[in-house]
Amino acid sequence: MTTTPHDALFKAAFEHPEHAAELLRSLLPASICAAVDLSTLTHEPGTFIDPNLSHQHSDLLFRAQLTNSATSIYFYFLLEHQSTLDRFAARVLFADSLEAVFAD
């Protein structure tokens, strides 16, 4: 459960697959959207335990099938809300993404 209103708003708006699909359509190139059957998009649990056993939450994780295939693809939405400029924010977001991808 999130403790910040910004995260709660983001999750409430985009945890529904139809809303996430619209976000993907607006952000991804048409060729990628055509390769993914966004009607199969499902919200997946995005909680994992890092190596130090502290509880972590990914923002939103979705799974969909590739068009005309049984192969699945995952979309990980990671959004950082900050009230001040942080020149290292991209580094932190990248590290968090890698941690989510490679979590056991």
Tell which wins on pLDDT, 8 or 32.
32
Q: How far apart are CA 28 and CA 30, in angstroms?
A: 6
Dihedral sign of CA atoms 77, 96, 66, 71 in order:
negative
Query: What digits encode the pLDDT tens for the residues 44-55?
Result: 886 553 444 333
| Domain boundaries, given as residue ranges, for the chain | 5-101
Query: What digits encode the pLDDT tens for the residues 7-26?
Result: 677 778 888 999 999 999 99
Can you give the pTM of this predicted structure? 0.70
